[in-house]
Structures are given as structure tokens and as C-alpha cells.
Structure 1
Amino acid sequence: MSIFLCFIFLLPLILTLWKNLKPSKWNLPPGPRKLPIIGNLHKSRELNPRNRRNLTEKYGPVVHLRFGFVPTVVVSSKEAAEEVLKTHDLECCSRPEKVGFRMLSYNYKNIGFTRYGEELREMRKLSVVELFSPKKLQSFKYMREEENDLLVKKLMESASRLSPVNLKKTLYTLVGSIVCRTGLGTNLHECEYIHEDSVEDLLNKAELLTTTSIFSDLFPGRIGELMDLISGQKKRLESAFSELDTFFLNILDSHLKPESTKIESFDLIDVMVDMMRKQDKDGGSFKPTTDHLKGMISDIFLAGVSTSTSTMIWAMTELIRSPKVMKKVQDEIRTTLGEKKERITVQDLTNLHYFKLMVKEILRLHPPAPLLLPRETMSDIKIQGYDVPAKTQILINAYAIARDPKHWKNPDEFNPDRFVDSSIDYRGLNFELLPFGSGRRICPGIAMGIAIVELGLLNLLYFFDWGLPEKEEAGETITGNEVALDLVQVLNH
């Protein structure tokens, strides 16, 4: 009897093993040899975007891997990315299920991680109208300007003392404050339930949830869930999510109870709350729940803060490493705007050509998501002549594509001049540059993110000169990693 029960318990695993080990009828893309059960888990480091040549040069721009029982195709060329994101956009625009994604999206009730369908389309449409439209972007400009004024004031105090600053943490606070005011109606400087300097810690916890694959992600079913419990992996993710969840719930409470901490104008979450309260009367197709509200709050905060902050951090890192480019950018800014401005406004960005080329070059060298969020095929397709079956995870290596020597001269060099006579842009129509993705799952907040980045960098470069503390050697401090900005010298211009 016990043998029979064991067989019944293991039958799903046996069937899955048989399915994965029997000869394939497909003309799959090339890839490294797969081991029984674990597939290519032992090769997972090769997926690091900065090790792109290890994988692409050996197997080509379309590579087939298997992580546990999850088939995965890695795309690392402009041509293959165009097939995924344009030719087969509809067939490739869903998302795979992962435990971390499920937590952050409140069971797939947000824009970033939910599977493709009518609900996703309705949420994207709502976000574009109520948060990311040109009209909304214009109406929020005073908030961006006020937060940058506060940033400049704090940095001037540090400059007057000739004391180094932790620019990385400062930028997390700046972007977090802007995103919370414009998207969530919350002022971090006066918030009772979170300190404004805690933004980076929250983002680090979110990164753990989005980048960690636990057993049940790789081996779906009861066996994977059992291993999650034994290993404690799921418990660790739940612990990381707990603090984020508390923050999101507090924001939601401030919208459900207007008399509490919410102080800014009517925003996207207010619109969804209003829709939820009226849904019984209106009978519309999209009926928000509290999980939708929390999922949208998660989306706005995590995606909005992480991408813009990462871009600004890398921009300052590359500029400090490249004094000639720094000087050229600052000369343009100070010549165009004059030397005696007391504050910077959004209008000041109008005539800064080289400055904007610098931002574009940063997005090329350091895309906010080096590997775009994973997609999942909804039907069988072909990419570059290879078969890609339904339910295959697709990873697009935006980092490798933007440094492909076929399309970029000296691709690892920080050189904004490469865009002087180039029409290539970052808005998803040029597939050699995909910092925000493309197609149906392109980031809806591109304009908002660029607006935050450009105004923030303009204030930093107009009012201050930057360098390393005198006691630090550049070769030791700036290593190509943005962590170098933990300690930089800021001087009044």
C-alpha cells in the first residue's frame, strides 16, 4: 500500500520528466547541453547580461535553455527582438507565473506582471489617461520642480561644508518623492509610515522578489511547493514582501480615508477607488478590486522609482568617469541657460541638444532593465527560423542588443556624439535600442520617466561641479558600478 501511495505521489514528476527527456519534435534554437531534471540551472550565470558574449558568441542570437522544467529562449539581437516584439508581439505578450511576481502584483492584478487579456488592456488604458498622458505630465511639472529645488538646497548645504554626499541615496529619495506625489498622492517628507530615506531599502526588497526563482517557479506542482517549504525559500520572499505590503496598504488606506494622510490632488488611485465604489451602478467591463488598487500602487512605485533612479545613477557615474563629456554637457547647459539662474524649470530643457544625447547614451549603455521582464508565448511561433513552442519563457537581452558591434561602433564606450546624426530613439520603434521594451508590453510611463531623469540631471549639472573625494583614487572608486556614487564630492558652481 505504501509503495502504491508513493507511486501516486511521484506520478506527476515521472510524467513531467518523461515529457522533458523524450526526443523533441521541434527545431529548437541551439543551446548548451541540458542535464536531467535541472536542465541548464548550472549555467544560469551565463544569463547575466554583462556576460552576454559567453552565450551569444557560442550559440548565436537565439539560444534555447531549460531551467528546471521551464523552457526558455534568450534573444540577443536586433533582428530576433523585432520578431518577438513586432512580428509576433501578440503571441509573445503574456507573462510567466512566478511566486515573486504573484506577490508584488497581488495575484496578477497590476500592469507589469499580469497575463495578457482584457483586464490588462483596461488597466493600461486607465494609467495612460490618468497618469501618463501629456496633459497629466504637464500638470505634475510643479511637483517635479519643487522636489528638485529641495534637492539643490540639501546639496548646497553639503557643498558649503565641503563634505561628501551619498548621491545614490539622495537620488532614490528624489525620485521616490516625485513618484509618490505624482502617482500616489503621498508626500514622503511628511509621511508618517515611512522615512524618506527608506526608498532604496524598499526597492532592494522588491528586486529580491523579481530576480529570485524558487523551486516552485522551476518545478511547478506539489513537488516544487514542498521543496519551497523545506528550503524556506518562500518564507524568505514573504518576509521581504511584508514591508512592501505594509507600505502599499498604508497608501491605499490614505485613499480610502481621505481625511487621513493623503494631501495631493486627485490621482490614478482615486479614480480606481471611485470606479470600485460605483461599479454596481455603472456595470462597466473593468471592475477594480482592492487587489487591483494595491497592484497598481506596487506598479507605480516600483517601476517608477527603480528605472529613473538607475538611469540617473549611471549617468552621474559615467560623467564622473568621463571629465571631457562632463565638461561638454555642463558647458552647453550653462551657456544656454546663463550663469545666474536661481532655479531650474521644465522649460529650461527645451534647447539642450547634447544634454539629451547624453541621456540617450546612458539608456543605451545601461538600460534600466538589462533583461526585459520575461514574456511567455501563448502559441507556437518561429524566431529566426527556429521553433518556439507555446508556454516558452522569452528573455530579451536589451543590454547585449544595445552593445552589439554589428550596430554600434565601439559599443562599450560612453560617447553621446554617436547620436548626433542618428535618428535612433528609445521609444520602442528602433529595435537596437530597447531600454523600455516595445510592443504591447512597452513601459507606459516612458515620458514620465524621462521627464524625471532630465530635470534631475539638469539641476545636478547646472548648480554643482562633481568629483571624487580628494583622498580617493579614481581607479579604486569608480569601477563601472553605480555603487561608486555612495561617496562623491559636490561643490557649488
Structure 2
Amino acid sequence: METWLLVFLSLSLCVVVNLLLNQKHKKRLPPGPPAVPILGNLLWLRRSFTDLEPLLRDLHARYGPIVTLRIGSRLSIFISDRHLAHKALVENGAAFADRPAPLPATRFISCDQHNITSAPYGSLWRLLRRNLMSETLHNSRVKLFAPARQWVLHVLAAKLHAHGTEKSGAAVMESFQFAMFCLLALMCFGEKLDEESVRAIEAAQRDLLLYGRQLGIFNFVPAISKHLFRNRWSKAMEMRQRQKEIYLPLIRARREHKLKKKETEERFVHSYLDSLLDIELPEEENRNLTEDEIIVLCSEFLNAGTDTTSTALQWIMAELVKHQEVQAKLLEEIEDVVGKEDEEVKEEDLQRMPYNKAVVMEGLRRHPPGHFVLPHAVTEEMTIEGYTIPKDAVVNFLVAEMGRDEEVWEEPLEFKPERFLDGGAGEGVDITGTREIKMMPFGVGRRICPGLGLAMLHLEYFVANLVREFEWKSVEGKEVDLAEKPEFTVVMKNPLRARVIPRRNACN
């Protein structure tokens, strides 16, 4: 009721302007269901936006691979065809590389688009992305954190050893998330944090992300809605303040450490935060980033590397529990490469494990953590498949549907890593989508995920070592349920519980 109240308050102010603007769009837009002025297709949708994917699947079956929805006053276009996605994101990449302006309710979360994810396509975005790619995600830098990955592996193995043999099995997702967050926090802040500190940062991050769903009401006449629902707005501000209180001591300690040029055994040579402290913004009189902007960028780094990787890892391990023959074949490859006595599958060993890579690739194809890319905005009017894509339209792409295209993948809903080996449809697949798109779990084009290489390394490393260390089996009487549920990523509706049995007598 509260949403409709604010919608109708704004209706009288906007209807005339909307009708005048609609006169400009006489060109052929992609097809879609009938829309109501101002309200768009909201009356037709009637359900939560978490139901958007099945609704879009029905729309694409009815209207074709490119459809239009009006979500409020915004024109949103959804593309499910891999050829059209390539034409848009690769062949016309610059035109589709912008981001929509943030809604009023979420502007404060991105510090007015001062992060890589939401920054407009331009100089600020290039500067922030180049800094991340060259200073933290460059191969030479990533190698510096090999000891950190080994440390986190031991932390994760210890947690699984503690609960994995119970009859009810271990709820592994929480352990995966904690381990990945430990690793990303170390890469971000440059030091090992104790469990209490990691838990505090993780809780502040997740609470603010999840509460963001409650803020949509403020997109309708913010000046009014902030008064009507001031308690809700105050709670969001309190969460933001809590995040700042946790981050600021870490930022200020690292700044002091850099100024004194001290190094200790507990501090790594480089961190993402170090690079942020050095950034100057040329178009803003070479000023440094503010503390609020640094918090937003660190938050983005932690979110992007934790939830997506831990979600993908859970899906892959669920498939290995479900398909014991795949797990056995993977273990055979691991033992052929590293033997049975080595304590760890090292990063250099991964290059000699094609089946391990195939397992990871099949997991990403079958269960991409995000079923949509982040929305793109069009910087100039474009024509695709005979349809007009107006300037400033919001365009999105159905990642999961492209990875399950029956024209490319035989039995696309089955988990078959062999399809990425010799003679399979996925042999030599270009995951960046530069040549063609067969799957795009990291997006493609100019806004492709900059952490692609790091994510693949982490998945291959942890999958291999978790299979090396443990036998993964289902809980007696319970089948693995592959039903999906959208959260920040698309997770298992019923999180994986597995019996995790050590292959050796003691934890290494």
C-alpha cells in the first residue's frame, strides 16, 4: 500500500510530462506487454522483482529474443540471444558501456557513483578500473597473495574438519563465505584480521546490502517519502554509519603505515587500500579520494569477490556431491599431478589440470552466480534486429539463458564437465566473449568483470584442494536440491549440507 500511495502522489505531477516525452518515441521499440503511463508494467507484473526471471522467460517465448518492459518511468530492454548480446556489448561496446543514473534511494551507497561498478563510462571509471587492474589484479600482484590463499585454505579445512563428519552434514556455505571474505579482506587491507574483525566487517556489508531492498520506496518523490518513512531512512543511515566506524580505523592505520614506510611480517607488501590512498582525480584538481569514497571502493572489492565466488563454489561442490563419478575422475587427475602425499595442490599445479578447469567452467555455465549482468545504459540511439534502442534506455542481458542455449549446449541442464574437453561444445570457449558468446558469467565487453582472472584462480584452487582433502558425500536420505533462489547472487534455495569426510587422518 505504501508504494501505491507514493506512486499516486507523483502521478499528477508527472503524467503531462510523460505524455509529451512519449511523442518522441514513434520509432519501433522492441516488443513487450502493454504499459500504463507513469506506472509502466508494474500493474502487469504484480509480483516481487525476484520473480522477474521466470516472467522474462515467458515474455521471450512470446515476443522473441529482445523485449521491452517499462518499470515505472524507465524503459528497460532485456536481451536473451547470445548473437544480439555480442552485437551490443562487443561490436557496439562503447555505446552500451554506460551505467544508468542511480535511483535516489541508492545514490548514497555508491557515494554518487564513485566506484567501478556504477561509475559512468568516462575518465573516473577508467582511472578506478585501471588502478584495480594494474595495482591489485595484475598477475604479479596476485602471486604475492599465494601465502594468503594457503592460509585461508587451512582456515576453511579446519572448519570443515570440525563439522563435516556429522550425520546431519555440514552447512558449508557459511564456511565458504567466511573463507572468501577473509581472503578478500586481507587483499583489501593488507593484513590478517582476527575472526571477530572479519565477522564485524562481513555483517556490516551484508546488512546494508540486504536492507537496500527496503529503500525502493524512496525512489518515489524522495522529499516526501523520507518524511513519511523517516524511521526506515534513519535505519539505513545508521547502517551506513556502522560501516564507516568499522572501516575508518583500518583506513587510517594503513595511511599511517604508508607514511612511516614500516613493514612487519604480519603486513603484506601491497593492498588494494594502498593503491586507493595514492589515487588523485585529475578532473577534480588532483584531489585524493575522500574517506567515504575509499569505503565505497573497499566495500565494492569485498562484495564482488566474496559472494560471487562463494556462491559459485557452493554450486560446484553441490554438483560434485550429486555426481560422484565426476568427483572420482577429478580426484584421479589431482593425484596424477601432485601425488597422494603432498599437502596442497599448488597454484602452479593447476595449469596441468584440464579436468579441474572443465569442472569449474561447467559450474559457471550451469550455475552462474548472477543471472543478469549489471544494467547497461545506452549513450546514443542504436538499432538492433530492426528495433530502436533509445538513448538512455536501460539494457540488460540474460546470462543464465545464454549458458543454457540448446543450439550450443546439448542437454544444457545436465552437469557434464567433459563438454569443455577435446571435441566438446565448450572446447576452447572464449569466456571473455570477444570472438563469440557461448556463456558470459563475468559479462563481456568493456564492462566485463575485472576480477575474472582472480575468480577463476580462486575457484580452481579451492575446488582442487577441497576434493584433494575431503570426500564429499550427500547426507543419508537427502538428495542435493538444485532449486535456485535470488539474493545478492542466485544461491541454492536449500543450502548445501554435505558429509565432508577427510581423505587423510589429520588436517594439514
* TM-score interval, smaller chain: 0.7 to 0.9
1:434 aligns with 2:435: no
Q: Using the TM superposition, give the Cα deviation of residue 240 of structure 1 relative to its aligned residue in structure 2, in angstroms.
A: 5.2
| Pair 1:166–1:46, CA change in 2 (3 A) | closer
Letter in 1 for 2:271: D
Q: How does 1:135-174 map to 2 (within 5 A)?
A: 135-159=140-164, 164-174=169-179
Gaps of 5+ in 1: 1-8
Q: How does 1:466-481 map to 2 (within 5 A)?
A: 466-470=472-476, 472-474=477-479, 479=483
Letter in 2 for 1:316: M
Gaps of 5+ in 2: 1-9, 485-490, 504-508
Q: Is the 8 A contact 1:47 1:55 kept in 2?
A: no
Task: Give 1:106's aligned residue.
Answer: 111
CA distance in 1, matches of 2:134, 2:324: 41
Q: Secondary structure at the match of 1:466?
A: strand
Task: Give 1:230's aligned residue.
Answer: 228
CA distance in 2, matches of 1:384, 1:148: 48
Counting matched residue pairs gives 474
CA distance in 1, matches of 2:376, 2:275: 29
Q: Is the 8 A contact 1:354 1:416 kept in 2?
A: yes
| Pair 1:392–1:484, CA change in 2 (3 A) | same
Q: Is the 8 A contact 2:382 2:390 kept in 1?
A: yes
Q: Using the TM superposition, give the Cα deviation of residue 298 of structure 1 relative to its aligned residue in structure 2, in angstroms.
A: 1.5
CA distance in 2, matches of 1:387, 1:484: 42
TM-score normalized with structure 2 length: 0.84
| Pair 1:373–1:243, CA change in 2 (3 A) | farther
CA distance in 2, matches of 1:486, 1:254: 39
Q: Secondary structure at the match of 2:136?
A: helix
Q: Is the 8 A contact 2:376 2:394 kept in 1?
A: yes
Q: How does 1:141-220 map to 2 (within 5 A)?
A: 141-159=146-164, 164-189=169-194, 193-195=197-199, 199=202, 202-203=205-206, 205-209=208-212, 214-217=216-219, 219=220
Task: Give 1:19's aligned residue.
Answer: 20
CA distance in 2, matches of 1:289, 1:412: 47
Deviation sequence 1:22-58 (CA, Å, 0-9, x none): 5841210000111232111242659633555312111
Deviation sequence 1:158-197 (CA, Å, 0-9, x none): 4577773221000001111111112222423356x4427x
Q: Is the 8 A contact 2:204 2:242 kept in 1?
A: no
Deviation sequence 1:250-306 (CA, Å, 0-9, x none): 432332343999933332321331345xx89x9986743333322221221111111
Q: Is the 8 A contact 1:369 1:435 kept in 2?
A: yes
Task: Give 2:419's aligned residue.
Answer: 418
CA distance in 2, matches of 1:447, 1:135: 12
Deviation sequence 1:408-458 (CA, Å, 0-9, x none): 221111111122232213223232211111122111111111111111111
CA distance in 2, matches of 1:406, 1:286: 52
Task: Give 2:498's aligned residue.
Answer: 488
Q: Is the 8 A contact 1:100 1:212 kept in 2?
A: no
CA distance in 2, matches of 1:374, 1:213: 19
Q: Using the TM superposition, give the Cα deviation of residue 74 of structure 1 relative to its aligned residue in structure 2, in angstroms.
A: 0.6
Task: Give 1:380's aligned residue.
Answer: 381
CA distance in 2, matches of 1:392, 1:34: 16
Q: Using the TM superposition, give the Cα deviation of residue 99 of structure 1 relative to its aligned residue in structure 2, in angstroms.
A: 4.0
CA distance in 1, matches of 2:461, 2:500: 18
Deviation sequence 1:50-96 (CA, Å, 0-9, x none): 55531211111111110110110011110111122112211121111
1:92 aligns with 2:96: yes
Choose which of 52, 55, 62 in structure 2 pairs with 1:58. 62
Task: Give 2:321's aligned residue.
Answer: 320
Q: Using the TM superposition, give the Cα deviation of residue 407 of structure 1 relative to its aligned residue in structure 2, in angstroms.
A: 2.2
Q: Using the TM superposition, give the Cα deviation of residue 20 of structure 1 relative to its aligned residue in structure 2, in angstroms.
A: 5.8
CA distance in 1, matches of 2:241, 2:33: 38
Deviation sequence 1:380-419 (CA, Å, 0-9, x none): 1112221011111111111111112222221111111122
Q: Secondary structure at the match of 2:170?
A: coil
CA distance in 1, matches of 2:56, 2:139: 37
Q: Is the 8 A contact 1:379 1:391 kept in 2?
A: yes
Percent identical among aligned pairs is 23
Q: Using the TM superposition, give the Cα deviation of residue 17 of structure 1 relative to its aligned residue in structure 2, in angstroms.
A: 3.3
Task: Give 1:67's aligned residue.
Answer: 71
Q: Using the TM superposition, give the Cα deviation of residue 463 of structure 1 relative to its aligned residue in structure 2, in angstroms.
A: 0.8
CA distance in 1, matches of 2:239, 2:407: 41
More off after superposition, 344-353 vs 304-313? 344-353
Task: Give 1:6's aligned residue.
Answer: none
Task: Give 1:272's aligned residue.
Answer: 276
CA distance in 2, matches of 1:339, 1:201: 42
